[in-house]
Structure 1
Amino acid sequence: MLKINHMELGPIQTNCYIVSNDAKQCLIFDPGEEAEKVIGFLQKKGLAPLAILLTHAHFDHIGAVDDLREEFKIPVYLHRLEKDWLGRPNLNGSGKYPMVPDYRIGEADVLLDGEKQLQIGDFRMELLHTPGHSPGSISYSFGTEGFAIVGDTLFRGSIGRTDLIDGSEKKLLASIRVSLMTLPDHMVLFPGHGPETTPEQEAASNPFLNGF
């Protein structure tokens, strides 16, 4: 059985998720900032990270990538459509806000494109391409474990913004309808910000999903 821990990182309180197994191996999802906080948690728990996986490449999800990659000598996974975003502030969004430093992160080690399944060590997950918030947004579904990490595609009672580079409300709603709302009703969805939810809860109460 997998265990999932999360911590809120950086000025926008982005959810970073640590998914670990009984062998004390783990995957790091969306380390948005505060690398030292993540390192301290992993050391305290005795966890050995195998990889960093990104739901997308906006600045608030990538700030600690280089520090963690260097510390643990692990690869970074990202969708191919955002391969240039890590190092370009105009694409990752950091150049949009004067109060945010420009984020220039090294290139991803593994570019995902069309894969349906991904295995890293003993971790197996289904990849759901969920564009709309950004073109390369990915949701990572651990179906047998009953949870999915969905980035900024869907939130409790809301949806991801679509006014950033290559965002599309039409694509976002299609992604939610086809990829997320078809998951089991009680599947726990862990978003990039805020508390977890389920497809059942969002179908019943999310004002953006009327008619789903």
Structure 2
Amino acid sequence: MDDVKAKLRLEMREVERLRATVDAKDLELERVNGELAACQARLGEVEGACRAATDEGANLKAMIQQWRAAAEAAQQKVNDWQTAAAEQEVGGKAIERDDPPFQAKYRSMEEFLLAALQKVSTSYEQQEATLLRVGNLIKAIQPEAMEVEESPKVAQGEAVTLRARDTTLLAAPRHEQGAPQMQADCREHAELEAADDRDAEASKAVARGIC
């Protein structure tokens, strides 16, 4: 009976130790899951920034194409007016560039078109600079996005490893979980009991001899 109680106490201590180990692993798993959630949230933010930058870049490209078309149209109008200055006739007489009425009208239109062309060119340059900035932003974000994408994979690997350890500890029979230490303790306990039995027998023999 004492031997059974001793073994039971050893087994209970081993169970408590295993429970403490599992609790510690649960805390570690909770920490890893928290890091995983944070990485996923950060990844979502980076992906959102990339999508926004990509959309902005696409919009800017469309605007630049529109401005380029407007600039080409304005330039074509200037060219048409320059051609018309030499070809247009009034009353059968070719209009010379120095003819005051036509010259004033031509200059007014040319100045208007050139101003429009300059405005379009300036806006085009500004849009090009903005597009370049967006492109640099995307390039800067991409390495960070790749790093954040790798973080959940690492955290998931750690979580899988911890779950596997917990499953192994919980699935193993109690006598196998602490087998080496328990066997050593049992052997020591048995040796002590055998020594006690020998001492008891010797005492009995001495008592019988006296009697």
Report if TM-score (shorter chain) is over 0.5. Answer: no
Q: Which has the larger radius of gyration?
A: 2
Higher helix share: 2
Higher strand share: 1
Higher RCO (CA-CA < 8 Å; seq separation 6+): 2
The TM-score bracket by the shorter chain reads under 0.3
Q: What TM-score results when the alignment is normalised by the length of structure 1?
A: 0.15
Q: What TM-score results when the alignment is normalised by the length of structure 2?
A: 0.15
